[in-house]
Amino acid sequence: MDRVLLEQVIDICKRAGEAILEVYHSSEELQVETKKDDSPVTVADLAAHKVLAPALAQLIEGVPVLSEEEEIPSFDERSQWQRYWIVDPLDGTKEFIRRNGEFTVNVALIDNGEPVLGVVHVPVLDITYAGCKGEGAIKRDASGENQIQVRSLKPRLEKKEVVELVASRSHGTGTVDQLVQRIESELGTVACKNMGSSLKLCLVAEGAADLYPRLAPTCEWDTAAAQAVVEAAGGIVVDEDFNLLRYNSKESLLNPFFYVIGDTSFDWQALLKSQSTA
């Protein structure tokens, strides 16, 4: 996958982030509407979409754009796509409304169901996570650019360091609490950090967390970009049966429940599958 293409996508995401920040820092009262699926949408979501959709459509001839803020083509049409862009112009709209900064711009390139390139841009912090298959993953912020990779768990367990989880701020907390108890009984103390948007996957990618269990609904545009970063950094994103999370394989755009795993050499499957069948 082309590093030049990745840089082009980073630039487009940063421009979408600037459009979001214009609304975020505006003194006008934020107008929030509710979509058919009861999720919130703001003018910032739409402003970012208006930057992303046309710019991405011009990057690779004939590659369509699937955005949360646009009408979704039928599966009959989508199933013909080998490659396409999948976009969440503002992931974490609830966090945007709360003005806590935990929202992102997500763009991924899907090839035969696999996220092969992804960019997650955090407008408020001006931090960008990016990765593509075969090229590794990076984190770019005010201090510059650094390669990122997932961390090993075994050395941390040997030193009796805590296992670090990230979890959703608003979804599936009861089930995650049960999982934390299970992991603590096997591995020792667990520290759990709650936050919004796809930042949770990025924390695993950069080695700041060991596991992100998502035991509540998400859509494909919520995860694809950050999954590309995680996989480029050496981690995996798997469903409850430990199959790799894949895209555009069915009518619904809802993901199954999933786990984001940093250290793939650790036998998370035995521990997590025993949790799911408990």
Instruction: Indicate if 33 and 55 belong to the same structural domain.
Output: yes
Instruction: Indicate if 143 and 176 belong to the same structural domain.
Output: no
91 is in an annotated binding site: yes
Instruction: Indicate if 103 and 68 belong to the same structural domain.
Output: yes
CATH code of the domain in which 168 resides: 3.40.190.80
CATH code of the domain in which 80 resides: 3.30.540.10
The residues near 228 (Cβ < 8 Å, ≥ 6 apart) are: 108, 109, 115, 116, 117, 118, 131, 132, 133
Instruction: Indicate if 169 and 132 belong to the same structural domain.
Output: no
pLDDT tens for 5-34 read 999 999 999 999 999 999 998 867 777 777
161 is in an annotated binding site: no
Instruction: Indicate if 162 and 124 belong to the same structural domain.
Output: no
201 is in an annotated binding site: no
11 is in an annotated binding site: no
Q: Domain span at residue 247?
A: 154-276
On whether the pTM is more than 0.85, the answer is yes
pLDDT above 60 for 251: yes
Q: What is the pLDDT of residue 31?
A: 75
Instruction: Indicate if 265 and 230 belong to the same structural domain.
Output: yes
Instruction: Indicate if 70 and 186 belong to the same structural domain.
Output: no
Instruction: Indicate if 95 and 15 belong to the same structural domain.
Output: yes
Number of domains in the chain: 2
Instruction: Indicate if 187 and 126 belong to the same structural domain.
Output: no
Q: Average of pLDDT values for 35-52? A: 84
Calpha distance 105→193 (Å, rounded) = 21
Instruction: Indicate if 172 and 143 belong to the same structural domain.
Output: no
Q: What is the pLDDT of residue 237?
A: 98
pLDDT above 80 for 92: yes
Q: Six-digit token pair at 196?
A: 């919004």
Last residue within a domain, chosen from 100, 119, 148: 148
Confidence grade of residue 93 (pLDDT, cut at 50, 70, 90): confident
Instruction: Indicate if 185 and 101 belong to the same structural domain.
Output: no
267 is in an annotated binding site: no
Last residue within a domain, chosen from 127, 148, 169: 148
Confidence grade of residue 248 (pLDDT, cut at 50, 70, 90): very high
Instruction: Indicate if 112 and 195 belong to the same structural domain.
Output: no
Helix (H, G, I), strand (E, B) or coil at 9: helix
Q: Six-digit token pair at 135?
A: 């090229």
Last residue within a domain, chosen from 112, 129, 148: 148
pLDDT tens for 97-122 read 888 889 999 999 999 999 999 999 99
